[in-house]
Amino acid sequence: MRDRFDVAIAGAGPAGAQCARDLAARGYDTVVLETESEAEFPRQSNKSTGGTFPSMMAGFSIPDDVVMHFTDSVVIESPTQYFAQEQAGAVLEFADFKKFLVADSQEKGAEYWFDARVSKPITEGGSVVGMQYNGDGEVYADVVIDATGPAAPLAKALGVSDLKHKNQAIGLEYELEGVDLDAPGYADLTDAMMLRLDHEYAPGGYSWIFHTGADTAKVGVCYIQNETYQQYAKNRTIDGYLEHWLETDPRFEGTERIEGKHHRGSAHVQQPGKLSTDGFIAIGDTVPTVDPLWGEGIHQGMRSARAAAIAVDHCLTPDDPDTSAENISLYDTLWHREVAPKMDARLLMTQLLYFAANERYDELLSDLNRLDPDTLSKANQGNKLAIAKLLHLTDIPLLTRFARHRLGV
């Protein structure tokens, strides 16, 4: 078996497979090592709800046949209120989506090694020159990319992207049939992706219902087990929280779980540290790239994959290739400028949002219904005026508590 490539990627998730797609299309000799077996792929890594938007579908030429259901609105719910906004979206069949990315990159020339569990980087003179897999297997490349998601064996060993356990968000989801999507007293969730802010079901996080056609939906919860979680938690496991929601929300009365359709996973919500070093780049959830506020990680991860492909092209195109940390750091620049701009501000907004109590969520949604329909989109993009419109004088104690909490006093 060959052991030398232009680029070797660990992990065939949306980030790794997309990066292989872009690099193979540019003619780079690319190999992807994936820990799962080809026959079962994706199994444990079939973890995502797969909610996405036309910007991702069109931006990365994703075919409609990996979509379970197209949606036309996004709904935010609190214990007693809801806010609905028209917004085209798509709920992907995540397994089909992953298989498509792999098949398409193979067609473009990328090679895949399944059953290949990457364990550590191989370095020479301080530069990454390859990776070790399945014990003593070795593969060498001009550039090595870690796209293994939160596992991050290479990035961790190299001190790139310092993933901290206290920033790890965990998520669990079932696919259900028999869901009442237009129940009295609730928003009509037909053709909608709904996120619910309610500490009763997701302390310090959110829960969701994404319509997947007829009376079926993906229903899940996620949260970070940090101080906000401790404040609202009721000694349940994540499975216990999802069960609690299913047992107490009338929309789930008489629903049945679709066999074999449950998804579980994690992602880190934190400011990334270093993103690359000599001969090495970390992408997707390894960084982590997932949007802190709403957990959108697919589009973000694929954009980081594209930024990595651009950086590789920049390093390997010259007659005398240069994969030094300085040259490869074009990736870091692109990441901060185009992949996840304003990450600091979004992290702050996220921490503040999940810090607030249920009653404040009700107030927030009443405000959104009262204000200009674009307020949420603008606040979401970090527009200070829009954010200010959503704050009240009565928030001063909350903001003070939040500031003290951040300062650790």
Ligand X SMILES: Cc1cc2nc3c(=O)[nH]c(=O)nc-3n(C[C@H](O)[C@H](O)[C@H](O)COP(=O)(O)OP(=O)(O)OC[C@H]3O[C@@H](n4cnc5c(N)ncnc54)[C@H](O)[C@@H]3O)c2cc1C
Q: Looking at 148-156, 254-262, 373-381, 391-399, which segment touches ligand X (CB under 6 A)? A: 148-156
Structure tokens at 287: 């960084």
Q: Looking at 46-54, 178-186, 366-374, 393-401, which segment touches ligand X (CB under 6 A)? A: 46-54
Q: Which residue in the set 153, 205, 279, 292 belongs to the binding site for ligand X (CB under 6 A)?
A: 153
**Nearest Cα residue to 36 out of 138, 117, 149, 153:** 117
Q: Least distance from C-beta 2 to ligand X, angstroms?
A: 18
DSSP string over 16-61: HHHHHHHHHHTT--EEEE-SS-TTT-SSTT-----EE-HHHHHHTT
Q: Looking at 44-52, 177-185, 244-252, 272-280, which segment touches ligand X (CB under 6 A)? A: 44-52
**Does 295 contact ligand X by CB under 6 A?**
yes
User: What type of residue is 343?
Assistant: M
- Any long-range contacts for 242-247 (C-beta under 8 Å, 24+ apart)? 242/172, 242/173, 242/174, 242/201, 242/207, 244/200, 244/201, 245/201, 245/207, 245/219, 245/221, 246/174, 246/176, 246/219
DSSP string over 124-179: ETTEEEEEEETTTEEEEEEEEEE--GGG-HHHHHHT-S---GGGEEEEEEEEEES-
As a whole number of angstroms, the distance between CA 282 and CA 32 comes to: 14
Q: Looking at 144-152, 231-239, 245-253, 339-347, which segment touches ligand X (CB under 6 A)? A: 144-152
As a whole number of angstroms, the distance between CA 150 and CA 131 comes to: 18
**Does 73 contact ligand X by CB under 6 A?**
no
Q: Which residue in the set 130, 171, 203, 204 belongs to the binding site for ligand X (CB under 6 A)?
A: 171
**Does 198 contact ligand X by CB under 6 A?**
no
Nearer to ligand X, 96 or 296 (CB): 296
Q: What number of chain residues touch ligand X (CB under 6 A)? A: 43
Q: Which residue in the set 52, 207, 225, 270 belongs to the binding site for ligand X (CB under 6 A)?
A: 52
Q: Which residue in the set 204, 205, 265, 279 belongs to the binding site for ligand X (CB under 6 A)?
A: 265
Q: Looking at 105-113, 227-235, 288-296, 364-372, which segment touches ligand X (CB under 6 A)? A: 288-296
**Does 89 contact ligand X by CB under 6 A?**
no
Nearer to ligand X, 1 or 393 (CB): 1
Cα distances (Å, whole numbers) of residue 270 to 88, 147, 224, 292: 28, 17, 11, 7
Q: Least distance from C-beta 309 to ligand X, angstroms?
A: 14
- The site for ligand X (CB under 6 A) is made up of 10-16, 33-36, 42, 45, 47-52, 117-118, 147-149, 151, 153, 171, 173, 220, 222, 263, 265-267, 284-285, 290, 295-299, 301
